[in-house]
Structure 1
Amino acid sequence: MNKGAGDSASGESESVWDYPRPPRLEASVRRIRIVHAGRVIADATQAVRILETSHPPVYYLAPADVAVSLLRRSSAAGSFCEFKGVAGYWDLIMPGADLVGQVAWSYEQPSPGYSALKGFLAFYASKVDECWVDEERVVPQEGDFYGGWITKNLKGPFKGAPGTRGW
C-alpha cells in the first residue's frame, strides 16, 4: 500500500482522471469524521484511501475508529467489484433516529491486492448528516452506486451522475 502523496493537508490539486485503473490503495493520515443525528459515528486519523479513475476517493476506516455498536449487517444483497471482490453492507441504527439502510460497506474477503481493506468500513457521505476530511466538509459523489467523497482540491468530472455509468 502506498502512502498518499496527494493525501496531505496541503490541499494539492488532484484530478480523478489521473487516478489508476485498477484502483490503488493508499494510506491516509488525514482526519476522517462521520457525524449523524448529532453523534460521532467515526473519527479516524489513519485510513485507507482508494483511488480509481474518474471517482472521488473512498475512505475505508478501521472498525476501532467506528462506533460499530451502532451498525448491524444489512439484509440487502452484497455487490461485486471486479477488483476488490464481494462487498457486504451495513445499516446504521441510532436510538431516537431513523434507521439508515446500507450506510456503509466492507470487504470481509477482499481480492488479492486489496487485503488491507479486510474488515474496514467505507461510508456513503450521502446517507449521513456530515462527513469531514480534516476540517473540510465533503460533498457526496452523485448517484447511488459509488461512495466517493469530494473535497475542494479534486478536479472532475466525476463518474456517478445520470448518464455516466458507462464511462
Structure 2
Amino acid sequence: MFTPPRHTSPGPGQESVWDYPRPPRLEDSTRRIRIVFNGVTLADSRQAKRVLETSHPPTYYLPPEDVQMQYFQPVPRTTLCEWKGAATYFTIAVGEGQSPTGGQRIAEQAAWSYPQPTEAFQAIANYIAVYPSRMDACYVDDELVQSQPGDFYGGWITSDIVGPFKGDPGTWGW
C-alpha cells in the first residue's frame, strides 16, 4: 500500500506540490522567466505557461518567439508523456563568437518541446522547456531557481513552492 510522504505545509504565498492535480494542469504565467547559458540569455518571457502535477515543482514552457532558437539544435530523441504526448529534444550550443565568456559550451538534450501535444495541452505546442540543472541560471521573476532533483524531471523550485519533490532517491514509486 502506498503511503504518501510527509509534506511541508505551505506558508502564506506558497504552494504545495501535493495540492497540484493529477492528471496535470496547464496554466498561464505572467511571471518573468529567464534562462541563461554560457553568458547568453537564451530566453526572457512574460508569456510562459506552467504545468502543475502532483509531487512535481512547476515546469515552465516558453513561446518560441521569446527563445533564442539559433542556439537550439534538434536531436533524434523522443519520449512519450501519457498526458502531453510525444516530446522532441534539443541540444543547446553556445559557441565562440556567440558568448561573452568566449568559449563554447554544449548542454546535450537540455531542452524539449511538444510539436503535436494532446488536446488538453495544445496551448504549449512548440513551446520550449529546459532542465534548469543543465543551465547556468534560470529565474522566476528575479529569483534563482533550484532544479528538481534527479535527471528525469524538469521542475523549477522557488521559495514559493514546497515539497517534498519527486526525483530524490527513493521517490520513483510515488
Same fold (TM over 0.5): yes
1:124 to 128, 131, 142: 131
Question: Helix, strand or coil for the counterpart of 1:57?
Answer: strand
Tell me, in whole angstroms, the C-alpha distance in 1 between the residues paired with 2:17 and 2:23: 13
1:71 aligns with 2:72: yes
1:71 aligned partner, one-letter code: F
1:3 aligned residue = none
Tell me, in whole angstroms, the C-alpha distance in 1 between the residues paired with 2:173 and 2:69: 35
1:137 aligns with 2:144: yes
Question: Helix, strand or coil for the counterpart of 1:147?
Answer: coil
1:154 aligns with 2:155: no
User: 1:163 offset after TM fit, Å?
Assistant: 1.5
Is the 2:20–2:55 contact (alpha carbons within 8 Å) kept by the matching residues of 1? Answer: yes
Question: Helix, strand or coil for the counterpart of 1:78?
Answer: strand
User: 1:98 offset after TM fit, Å?
Assistant: 2.1
Name the structure, 1 or 2, with higher relative contact order (CA <8 Å, separation 6+). Answer: 2
Please list, as runs of the form range in 1=range in 2, the aligned pairs for 1:108-123 lying within 5 A after superposition.
108-123=115-130
Identity %: 53
Is the 2:38–2:105 contact (alpha carbons within 8 Å) kept by the matching residues of 1? Answer: no
Tell me, in whole angstroms, the C-alpha distance in 1 between the residues paired with 2:163 and 2:169: 15
1:163 to 165, 170, 174: 170
2:91 aligned partner, one-letter code: D
Bigger-Rg structure (1/2): 2
2:49 aligned partner, one-letter code: V
Gaps of 5+ in 1: 1-10
Is the 2:113–2:126 contact (alpha carbons within 8 Å) kept by the matching residues of 1? Answer: yes
Gaps of 5+ in 2: 1-11, 96-102
Tell me, in whole angstroms, the C-alpha distance in 1 between the residues paired with 2:144 and 2:105: 22
User: 1:69 offset after TM fit, Å?
Assistant: 0.5
Query: Could you list the runs of 4 or more consecutive aligned residues of structure 1 that deviate by over 3 angstroms after TM superposition?
Result: none
1:81 aligns with 2:81: yes
Tell me, in whole angstroms, the C-alpha distance in 1 between the residues paired with 2:171 and 2:154: 14
- Provide the aligned length of Structure 1 versus Structure 2: 156
Tell me, in whole angstroms, the C-alpha distance in 2 between the residues paired with 1:133 and 1:115: 23
Q: CA RMSD in A?
A: 1.0
